[in-house]
Amino acid sequence: MGYSRREALTLAAGILAGGSLAACGGGGGDAGGDISKEAVKLRFTWWGSDARHKRTQQAIDLFTKKYPNITVSGEFKEWNGYWDSLATTVAANDAPDIIQMDELYLASYAERGALLDLGAATKHLKTDGIDPAALDTGKVDGKQYAIPTGVAAYAIVANTTILDQYKIPLPDDATWTWDDLKRIGADVSKASGGKVTGVQSWGFDTGGLNIWARQAGATLYDAAGKVAIPPAVLAGFWQYLLDLAKQGIAPAPSVTVERAGAPLDQSGTATNTSAFGAWWTNQLPSLSTASGQSLKLLRLPGNGQPAAAQSPYYKPSMFWSVSSRSRQPAEAALFVDFLLNTTEAGDVLQTDRGVPSNSTVRAAVVPKLAANDKAAADYVSALKVGAAPRVTPNGASSVEAILKRHSEEVLFERQTPQKAAESFIAELQKEIDAA
Amino acid sequence: MSALGELRRLGASRAGQAHQRDNKAAFLFLLPWFAGLLLITAGPVAASFVLGFTDYNLLQPPEFNGLENIQRMLTDERLHHSLAVTFTYVLISVPLQLAAALGLAMLLDRGLRGLAFYRSAFYLPSLLGSSVAIAVLWRQIFGAEGLFNQLLGLFGVSARGWISDPDTALSTLIVLNVWTFGAPMVIFLAGLRQIPVMYYEAASVDGAGRWTQFRKITLPLLSPIIFFNLVLQIIHAFQSFTQAFVVSGGTGGPSDSTMFYTLYLYQRGFHNFDMGYASALAWLLLIIIAAFTAVNFWAAKRWVFYDD
């Protein structure tokens, strides 16, 4: 009978038991201690695609060959289930030792004491090969709770096969504006007779929103972690998406919503049904594999304002962190060091978790990359970026769910962009205040 | 006489001893269930009651915050919305489901050949209906490029994403629930078998038509069964979770149109680290279901007819 009351309560029992354990259990081992000579078992969890699971398992095998007394068991999931299961395992005092962390959740876990301060683990985990600005993105309240695996940037992925087919020239991404994207997108929709839409709608992740805000000289959050985006700027963001849908430049809202909830390989870009789409650079290889056509990364259109020049930023694609209750923090730190700082691991992992943040690894890996990985790496290194946005505040980890719902309200015209903007800001602020 | 009486007493006491032995055995066999009840059900129920008065966030020890969670419920617009969605779902899908179940049960009751096969075939969706696999299938059928649209395409109706459109998403879940009419149907079928054929024979001799027979014989005699199914299915529908979770990808979307109460509770607890509030919400659901059941029992006095 589905999710019965009993199952729900079983879960609750586990959580409660775990909660009280967590309350009195305290920390695990000593992160600065020596590496054990005895047999050690580590648990390591991450989310991702099949390609990532294979690469990661290869890296694990290399590590355990080097340190035969340490076994690492991988627990991998897809994005949505990952966070539910991480919350419950941490609550039940059963967290994996090494945790792949995202910017959205970093503060929520760190401020609640679930992550180890890696500053205490420098004996085994070196960070001197990593750019200080990138390292800072893993700090919460001045402590290094997480280390970025690599960086990615937001980009427009253009399908040049489609553009060639309809004899539409590739826009110059140094000068183009949002209006250009609209115009060219409309050309594609018209030329294909609706089979291909010019643009795949976005508005379901914070990357697009952040850049829109930064182009207007604003930010999503201020330094203190309050929601700071002006309602008019946010309304403009939604008005643009609504225009795309209403003018047939982007697919009908129900198609957009369906794709937004589907895996990457069912997106408009991956199925060659949209000529332009907004993505993170590290998604290019997976998109290319799925699409089979020629995809090119373009810089985002501008709005003609001076702030736009500084609007791109490096997003730490994801982080490594260690559970604060790990019984083997020293060995866990050693493992993270291996993933982060060795070219052996870098050769296997390549740019799947972003362009490697360690400069030595990056220099060794990039020349060997396949064409699409290399295109992503080149795009990232050529990009002129401003300072990264503030880490998502504690309590705002559900920002993308709130964003998605409001985008849907706008696309289905249940709320005006202006009303949606006010409602989004109020709701997000309430979540932050409650945490 | 006395010998016989002695014998009887002996028999009785032997039976008594056997009875006691049986009781012990029964208790022993029930022990795992009792242990489960106490540890897995009763304990957590009590715990969630306590947690309902705390700010428990999963990662840190809970602290009492008095009636704050209850105050929050009063002003939580998304909660009110999820209640509206859930009530709509329950009040539409349960009557439709029971009507379908009764209709089919009556058809099957008329002595179809291969009854066992049809009974199983119609019962199957109930076994599968709240499973993840069926919810995934539902997503495919009612997707923008799904089977349902292809079918409509044959009649020239233009395609739309039934599940990804907030105007139709809840309807697809209602259809899913109605489709799982097998369980109440089997119970109806058993109930129909209990109604003596002579009532119908007598009625038709008196000139009563099909409809009159249904209204004057079937419905009253079946009313305890209808009542039983009604109570059960309402409780079940209030607790629906899997369907909405899988069909909407855990979001309750598009734009909260499938945000069932249980899904909202789950999101607060596990996505927003808001387990104290979620525990309080779980108790509110218990109270709502209890209230519905109580009203049902109260109203039952007026329409449920007990033969004996």
**Which chain B residues are closer than 8 Å to A16 by Cβ?**
44, 47-48, 51
Q: Please report where in the chains the tokens 């110059």 appear, as a residue.
A: A172
Tell me the H-state helices in chain B: 2-36, 43-51, 68-75, 77-109, 115-128, 132-141, 147-154, 169-179, 182-194, 197-205, 210-213, 219-238, 242-247, 261-266, 275-303
Structural domain boundaries, residue B19: 1-51
Spatial CA neighbour of A334 closest among A346, A343, A322: A322
Q: Which of A1, A113, A397 sits opposite B130 (nearest CB)?
A: A1
Q: Which string of b and e fits A105-125 if b means at least 16 CB within 10 Å?
A: bbbbbbbbebbbbbebbebbb
Distance to chain A for B120, nearest Cα, Å: 18
B248 to chain A: closest CA residue: A261
Q: Which of A3, A6, A10, A400 to mutate to test the interface with B (most CBs of B within 10 A)?
A: A3
Compute the count of residue pairs across chains A and B with CB atoms less than 8 Å apart. Answer: 143
Q: Residue B168's closest chain A neighbor by CA?
A: A254
Contact between chains at A19 and B43 (C-beta distance less than 8 A): no
Give me Rg for the CA atoms of chain B.
Answer: 25
DSSP H or E stretch at residue A275? strand A274-280
**pLDDT at site B107:** 86
Structure-derived torsion over alpha carbons of residues A155, A161, A167, A169, reported in degrees to the nearest 10: 30
Residues A260 and A326 both lie in one domain: no
> What is the Cα A88 distance to its own chain's centre?
21
Tell me the CB-side half-sphere exposure of residue A27, using CA atoms within 13 A: 12
Among the partner residues B39, B62, B241, nearest to A3 by beta-carbon distance: B241
CATH code of residue A34: 3.40.190.10
Question: Does one domain contain both A261 and A163?
Answer: yes
pLDDT tens per residue, range A10-57: 444 444 443 333 333 344 567 777 888 888 999 999 998 777 888 999
β-strand partners of A46: A76
Confirm if A214 and A385 have CB atoms less than 8 A apart. Answer: no
Is the domain of B80 the same as that of B144? yes
My answer on whether A115 and A229 are in the same domain is: no
Task: Determine the pLDDT at residue A349.
Answer: 87
What is the predicted pLDDT for the residue at A86?
93
Place of tokens 């730190």: A333
Looking at the structure, tell me whether residues B119 and B44 fall in a common domain: no
- The answer, for A101 touching chain B at a CB cutoff of 8 Å, is no
What is the mean predicted confidence (pLDDT) over A304-326? 87
Q: How far apart are CA A216 and CA B76, in angstroms?
A: 33
Nearest CA in chain A to B56: A19
Residues A296 and A229 in one domain: yes
Cβ–Cβ below 8 Å for B44 and A13:
yes
Question: Do both A201 and A332 map to the same domain?
Answer: no
CATH code, B282: 1.10.3720.10
Minimal Cα–Cα distance from B303 to chain A, Å? 29
pLDDT, mean of residues A393-420: 92
Is A431 within 8 Å of chain B by CB? yes
Would the CB atoms of A2 and B62 count as touching at under 8 Å? no
A253 contact B CB<8A = yes
- What value of ipTM does the predicted structure carry? 0.78
Residues 379-398 (A) with a CB less than 8 A from some CB of B: 395, 397-398
Q: B235 to chain A: which residues are within 8 Å by CB?
A: none
- Ranges of chain B with pLDDT below 70: 1-18, 129-130, 158-159, 307-308
**pLDDT attached to residue B224:** 92
Residue A408 lies in a domain: yes
Packing angle between helix B182-194 and helix B219-238, nearest 10 degrees? 160
For residue A164, name the pLDDT band (cuts at 50, 70, 90). very high
Q: Which chain B residues have a beta carbon less than 8 Å from that of A4?
A: 239
- Which among B57, B164, B272 is the nearest to A112, CB-wise? B57
Q: Is residue B61 part of a domain?
A: no
Determine the structural domain holding residue A297 and report its residue range.
154-312+398-434
Give the nearest partner residue to A405 out of B59, B165, B253, using CB atoms.
B253
User: Is the Cβ of A405 closer than 8 Å to some Cβ of chain B?
Assistant: yes
Q: Are residues B43 and B85 in the same domain?
A: no
Q: Same domain, yes or no, for A183 and A308?
A: yes
Q: How many domains does chain A have?
A: 2
Instruction: Name the strands in the sheet holding A274-280, side by side, starting at the edge strand that comes first in the sequence.
Output: A197-199, A274-280, A154-159, A295-298
Among B40, B61, B165, the residue with its CB nearest the CB of A254 is: B165
Angle in degrees, 0-180, between the axes of helices B115-128 and B182-194, rounded to the nearest 10: 140
pTM higher than 0.90: no
Does residue A10 sit within a domain? Answer: no
Strand pairing category for A40-47 and A70-77 = parallel
pLDDT at A388: 83
Is residue B178 one of the residues assigned to a domain? yes
Q: Would residue B308 count as lying in a domain?
A: no
My answer on whether A262 and A363 are in the same domain is no
Same domain, yes or no: A352 and A410: no
Indicate if the pLDDT at residue A8 is higher than 70: no
Residues contacting residue A148 through CB under 8 Å, at least 6 positions apart: A130, A134, A135, A137, A138, A316, A317, A318, A319, A354, A357
Nearest to A9 among B45, B255, B267 (CB): B45
Last residue of a domain, one of A380, A407, A423: A380
Q: Count how many residues are written for chain B.
A: 308
Which amino acid is present at B265? L
| % of chain A surpassing 70 pLDDT | 93
What is the four-CA torsion angle of B176, B182, B184, B189, rounded to 10 degrees?
150
A272: pLDDT confidence band, cut at 50, 70 and 90? very high
Same domain, B44 and B191: no
Nearest to B48 among A12, A114, A405 (CB): A12
In a domain, B36, yes or no: yes
Between B18 and A175, whose confidence is greater? A175
A84 touches chain B (CB under 8 A): yes
Tell me if A13 and B40 make a contact (CB, 8 A cut-off): yes
Residue B246 lies in a domain: yes
Same structural domain for residues B26 and B157?
Answer: no
Q: A4 in a domain, yes or no?
A: no
- Cα distance between residue A298 and residue A301, in whole Å: 9
Q: For residue B254, give the nearest of A80, A257, A395 by CB distance.
A: A257
**Residue B294: strand, helix, or coil:** helix
Closest-CA residue of A relative to B62 is A19
Cβ separation of A80 and B249 shorter than 8 Å? yes
8 A C-beta contact, residue A396 and residue A431 = yes
Altogether, the residues listed in chain A come to a count of 435
- pLDDT reported for residue A6: 43
Separation CA A187–CA A197 (nearest Å): 9
Specify if B60 maps to a domain: no
CA-to-CA distance for A299 and A236, rounded, in angstroms? 20
In single-letter form, the type of residue at position B140 comes to Q
User: Do B32 and B118 belong to one domain?
Assistant: no
Structure tokens at A304: 């003609």
Q: What pLDDT sits at residue B131?
A: 73
B270: nearest CA in chain A? A84
Please give, rounded to a whole number of angstroms, the shortest distance from the CA of B203 to a CA of chain A. Answer: 40
Helices (H), A196-324: 206-215, 231-246, 253-260, 284-291
In a domain, A426, yes or no: yes
To probe the interface with B, which of A84, A108, A398, A408 has the most B CB atoms within 10 Å?
A: A408
Q: A387 lies in a domain?
A: no
At B5 the pLDDT is 54
For residue A415, give the chain B residue with the closest CA. B255
CA–CA separation, A89 and A70 (whole Å): 22
Q: What DSSP string runs through A53-103?
A: HHHHHHHHHHHHHHSTTEEEEEEEE-HHHHHHHHHHHHHTT---SEEEE-H
Axis-axis angle for helices A231-246, A399-411 (nearest 10): 50
- Tell me the mean pLDDT in the region A139-159: 92
Specify if A3 maps to a domain. Answer: no
CA distance B266 to B134: 21
What would the mean pLDDT of A210-226 be, rounded to a whole number? 92
| A6 in contact with B, Cβ within 8 Å | yes
The predicted structure's pLDDT at residue B6: 56
How far is B267 from B184, CA to CA, in rounded Å? 31
Residue A11 lies in a domain: no
Cβ separation B255–A409 shorter than 8 A: yes
* Residues in A touching B85 (Cβ below 8 Å): none
Based on the fold, state whether residues A330 and A365 are members of the same structural domain: yes
A114/B contact by beta carbon, under 8 A: yes
Name residue B288's amino acid: I
Q: Do B130 and A2 touch (CB under 8 A)?
A: yes
**Residues 6 or more apart from A237 whose CB is under 8 A from it?**
A203, A208, A209, A212, A213, A417
The pLDDT of residue B260 = 93
- Do A414 and A287 lie in a common domain? yes
A1 touching B (Cβ < 8 Å): yes
Between strands A98-101 and A40-47, the pairing is: parallel
**pLDDT score for A434:** 86
- Does residue A293 sit in the same domain as residue A170? yes
Do A136 and A244 fall into the same domain? no
- Tell the residue number behind the tokens 């945790």, with chain if given: A99
- Domain count of chain B? 2
Q: Do the Cβ atoms of A2 and B130 come closer than 8 Å?
A: yes
CA dist B307 and B221 (Å) reads: 7
Q: Which residues contact B219 (CB under 8 A, 6 or more apart)?
A: B226
Residue at A6 is within a domain: no
**Contact A2/B242, CB-based, under 8 Å?**
yes
pLDDT (0 to 100) of residue B10: 52
| Cβ–Cβ < 8 Å for A166, A192 | yes
| Of the partner residues B131, B249, B253, the one whose CB lies closest to the CB of residue A408 | B253
Q: Give the mean pLDDT of A233-253.
A: 93
**Which chain A residues contact residue B270 at CB under 8 A?**
83-84, 87-88
Instruction: Read off φ and ψ for residue A293, nearest 5 degrees.
Output: -105, 180
